[in-house]
Structure 1
Amino acid sequence: MTTTTPPAPPFGRALCAMITPFTDAGALDLDGAQRLADRLVADGCDGLVLSGTTGESPTTTDAEKSALVRAVREAVGERASIVAGVGTADTRHTVELALEAEKAGADGVLVVTPYYSRPPQDAVEEHFRTVADASGLPVVLYDIPGRTGTRIEPDTMLRLAAHPRIVAVKDCSYDFLGTQKVLARTELAYYAGCEEHILALYAVGGAGYVSTVANLVPRQLHSILDAFDAGDTAGAARLQQQATDLIESTMSAGLPGTVTVKALLNDLGLPAGPVRAPLRPADRETTDGLRAAYERLQAA
């Protein structure tokens, strides 16, 4: 019987959807971003995804996005991959951001489904093809219909997988059957975008994860993949379960993950700063609950 080794994940296995640190006055904090990026990579992140949902991309300028990529690249060098979020509701603007990310030193781009206008699937497909054709960078499709209002349907994924620069998916579809359909028929690298799916997706052939919670506990999440790769499936399940409390507190507490992660990072004395409006900071009770969940996981 012959076996085939799956291709190596294009950006590593353990990716953090990094927050964008701001100063107390609300300006971009490049020094803080460099310090946070260095810490995340030192603690096990193979890659950093900048200017995504967690990175508050709707409220950062094009110039800030480029400056962030340059600063983080300077901080981490070649120790980690950098994927730049460039998705907007406008195909032309998305192309412009992709070209700027390439100039700034990104290794790939994260492109979300165009939001608000809710384009049909043929238009969604054309949008991604246009962006992928525009630069030399590999593309990660970002499927998060809960925010965009539009799925990248599995059949659309199957067609897009034929494009040589469309190499990966950040999967927040909550359609595990559809995901497995695409996994079985393509070589797209599927990254879990929802932390509760890290082990489940990895076990059926996923590439790893792009995680908001990794801003807080990068080593603990990385250890789930390590245990599975070592053949310790029971240990991997235990580690996934141990993280559930913090995952729920961070991602399912009625606040965006950006808000909860920044609240806890600030409480821990790590670079974060405020969120930008229309987001508002977490209150003290929420922050205390996050801190308690974090400390329970650290003690596990």
Structure 2
Amino acid sequence: MTRTSSDPRRPFGRLITAMVTPFRADGSLDADGAATLATWLVDKQGHDGLVINGTTGESATTTDAEKDTVLRAVLEAVGDRAFVIAGVGTYDTRHTVELAKAAEKAGAHGTLVVTPYYNKPPQAGLIHHFTEAADATGLPVMLYDIPGRTGMDITTETLVRVAEHPRIVALKDAKGDFEGTAWVTRRTDLAVYSGDDKVTMPLLAIGAVGVVGVPTHLFGPPTKRMIEAYESGDVAGALALHHKLLPAYCGFFRTQGVIMTKAALRLAGKPAGPVRLPLCQATPAEIARIREDCAASGLTLGDADQMAHLHPGADR
């Protein structure tokens, strides 16, 4: 099913969450839980889109078959009313192309292609990688620049070059290089989405159009209000929301983001389950701290006596 945005400046809307992949207590895939979580995020939390099988979806430890199953479950649940973007990036161009084709066959509305990690190709290799991924399907592509995970960045010149491809339409920016991002928004038509919740507001100031968030699993509506306030000219109101949300934005990343996100979702009674090794479950101290961080941003999660039950990896 093809979906198009009513605003060409933001091809996937304003508020997108990189969704966790729920697992059962034994670590097996919980496709029903994924559908339930996606429905709640879209229908109750107002998300415009979801990234499935991204880093927060533990794509490194899910099989291709599991990726297809969870993508199809989410598409069936919310694909008629939200953008469903499939994470397909790997360090192998051929595998990335295979995943992109599978995502298109499943009905995804777009793909997210991260910088190839570990093997650290030259920029010329990145251009070929992204171009082949975009050529493989008719889907719009969002690139993902996160050098802290991949070991290298996508340079401004490379982004300018690949932005000429008609299907490379967006960038998830988690680089923290505001000057570089400003040049990208000046020199290309890429829709830039913040890939780091705590800097969404400053990125808006230099041309970003939204966020692909992680704390937005539980803080989506106020994040969306912050973006809308800034765009409407209410900078003071947007800054007040940014300051209110900052403890949560930072707290979800005190350790690996998916670990804390699943802990917070379990406290909220939402489908999540455990993480898969080599990630490890949140400790009781970390669970207590995420409750504090969320409370500081205005959301009370669970009671203290729930913590023993929820650690380490209770089923939903």
- Spell out the pairing of 1:29-178 with structure 2 (5 A cutoff): 29-42=30-43, 43-178=45-180
Give the corresponding residue for 1:12.
13
Q: Which amino acid aligns with 2:197?
A: E
Is 1:258 aligned with 2:258?
yes
**Moved runs in structure 1, 4+ residues, more than 4 A?**
none
Q: What root-mean-square deviation, in Å, do the aligned CA atoms of Structure 1 and Structure 2 show? A: 1.2
Q: Which amino acid aligns with 2:171?
A: V
Q: Deviations over 1:255-295 (max 9, x none)?
A: 11000000111122111000000000010111111112212
Give the corresponding residue for 1:192.
194
Q: Deviations over 1:34-84 (max 9, x none)?
A: 111111112111000011111100001111111111110111132110110
CA distance in 2, matches of 1:229, 1:120: 37
CA displacement at 1:126 relative to structure 2: 0.6
Q: Which amino acid aligns with 1:173?
A: K
How many aligned positions are there?
293
CA distance in 2, matches of 1:182, 1:157: 7
CA distance in 1, matches of 2:9, 2:235: 21
Answer whether contact 1:67 1:104 (CA < 8 A) is retained. Answer: no
CA displacement at 1:207 relative to structure 2: 1.6
Answer with 94-103 or 201-210: which moved more.
201-210
Is 1:270 aligned with 2:278?
no
**Unaligned runs of at least 5 residues, structure 1:** 1-5
CA displacement at 1:299 relative to structure 2: 5.8
Q: Which amino acid aligns with 2:25?
A: D
Answer whether contact 1:16 1:212 (CA < 8 A) is retained. Answer: yes
CA displacement at 1:203 relative to structure 2: 2.3
CA displacement at 1:100 relative to structure 2: 0.3
CA distance in 2, matches of 1:7, 1:69: 25
Give the corresponding residue for 1:283.
283
CA distance in 2, matches of 1:297, 1:214: 12
Answer with 171-180 or 286-295: which moved more.
286-295
CA distance in 2, matches of 1:284, 1:92: 42
Give the corresponding residue for 2:306.
none
Identity, % of aligned pairs?
50
Give the corresponding residue for 1:27.
28
- Spell out the pairing of 1:287-298 with structure 2 (5 A cutoff): 287-298=287-298
**Unaligned runs of at least 5 residues, structure 2:** 1-6, 301-316
Q: Which amino acid aligns with 1:284?
A: P
Q: Deviations over 1:175-206 (max 9, x none)?
A: 11011101001100000000111111122221
Q: Deviations over 1:211-270 (max 9, x none)?
A: 01111211121111121133211000110111111111111x1x1100000011112211
CA distance in 2, matches of 1:294, 1:50: 24
CA distance in 2, matches of 1:295, 1:175: 30
Q: State the TM-score, normalized to the length of structure 1.
A: 0.95
Q: Which amino acid aligns with 1:27?
A: S
Q: Which amino acid aligns with 1:16?
A: T
CA distance in 2, matches of 1:224, 1:167: 24
